[in-house]
Amino acid sequence: MNHAKIHLKSAGLLLAGALILPFLAGTTVAGAAGLTPDDCLKCHEKAPLDIANHGAAHQTEVTCVECHAGHAPIDANNIPQCSQCHEGTPHYELDNCLSCHTNPHTPLIISIDSNLTQPCLTCHTDQMAQLQQHESKHTQVSCSTCHRAQHGMIPDCMQCHSPHSKEMTQEDCLSCHKPHMPLQVSYPAETPSSSCASCHGDVLNQLQGNPAKHATLSCATCHQEQHKMIPQCVSCHGEPHPEVMHKNFPQCGQCHGLAHDLNK
């Protein structure tokens, strides 16, 4: 990197127009290494503007001339390699940095288009661990099938799936499914019975058709947290009758029938 910041005496003249640059090649531009970042502005518009708007650390931590040492025509190639300054982590071993960091002057505007998984794993490992430990059809699609276009974009489930019932929102989906382990269905206590009824409509009808007080309880009050969990009557009621009666009739259902359809 060249930190020299010698102003060319003739900078004003030199910078009057790009067209005269070649004529001055042998003389003034020999001092191209002496150009300062302020000089670049006089001939280049886009790069300085990009940096001013979205330069991030490439605005605050480096200057134009630390990346672009020299200038055409004296120095034919003044385009730096990223590895000049970034090396030593798996992320910096990836191929083709500019495929994601499409513009080095706006390094944090990152475009994600093709089918990517491996490059994401240079930073995110938890999600892959979940996808692999809980095999599902999501394990077979790449990260960027879902997280595409801009880095950090969160997809809506409904881009690829129909909801179980019309009124369900993305927030509902995430209350039961985790996207990186979608078959491990678990849900909070406040889950409305209507969500369960989108698949178990018959159970809701049965429950609501019964006059017993269970009809006032939500599905999730009894079937707590994990899908397919079956509660024990005694976990809520204990053994309310005389001991001898429970001994003789060990199943509550022998007298009470089904939880959804109590014989009161």
Looking at residues 245 to 264 of the shown chain, list those that interact with ligand HEC (rule: CB under 6 A).
245-246, 249, 252-256, 258-260, 262, 264
- Contact between 23 and ligand HEC (CB under 6 A)? no
Select from 5, 7, 9, 91 the one that contacts ligand HEC (CB under 6 A): 91
Out of 27, 44, 90, 115, name the contact with ligand HEC by CB under 6 A: 44
Total number of residues that touch ligand HEC (CB under 6 A): 136
CB of 104: closest distance to ligand HEC in angstroms? 4
Residue 189 beta carbon to ligand HEC: minimum distance, rounded to whole angstroms: 10
Residue from 2, 25, 66, 74 binding ligand HEC (CB under 6 A): 66
The answer for residues whose C-beta is within 8 angstroms of residue 92's C-beta and 6 or more apart is 82, 83, 86
> Residue 140 in 3-state DSSP?
helix
Decide if residue 12 touches ligand HEC (CB under 6 A). no
**Which residue in 75, 161, 209, 225 binds ligand HEC (CB under 6 A)?**
161
**Number of Cβ within a 10 Å radius of residue 29:** 23
When asked if residue 175 is in the footprint of ligand HEC (CB under 6 A), the reply is yes
* Burial class of residue 60, CB neighbours in 10 A (0-12, 13-18, 19+): exposed
Q: Select the residue interacting with ligand HEC from 100, 109, 134, 184 (CB under 6 A).
A: 100
| Helix or strand run (H / E) with residue 35 | none
Among 70, 109, 134, 163, binds ligand HEC (CB under 6 A): 163
Residue 65 interacts with ligand HEC (CB under 6 A)? yes
What residues from 217 to 246 belong to the interface with ligand HEC (CB under 6 A)? 217, 219-223, 227-228, 230-231, 233-237, 239-241, 245-246
Closest to 220 measured CA to CA, from 204, 244, 238: 204
Q: Which of 108, 129, 150, 226 binds ligand HEC (CB under 6 A)?
A: 108
**Is 31 a residue that touches ligand HEC (CB under 6 A)?**
no
H/E run at residue 150: strand 149-150
Copy the structure tokens of residue 1.
């990197």
Pinpoint the alpha helices (H) of the chain.
Answer: 11-14, 37-43, 46-54, 57-60, 64-67, 126-133, 143-146, 170-176, 193-197, 201-208, 219-222, 233-237, 243-248, 253-256
User: Residue 149: beta bridge partners?
Assistant: 112
Per the CB < 8 A criterion, the answer to whether 32 and 2 are in contact is: no
Cα dihedral sign for 216, 218, 223, 228?
positive
The interface with ligand HEC within residues 184-213 (CB under 6 A) comprises 185, 187, 191, 193, 195-200, 203-204, 207, 212-213
Q: Residue 137 interacts with ligand HEC (CB under 6 A)?
A: yes
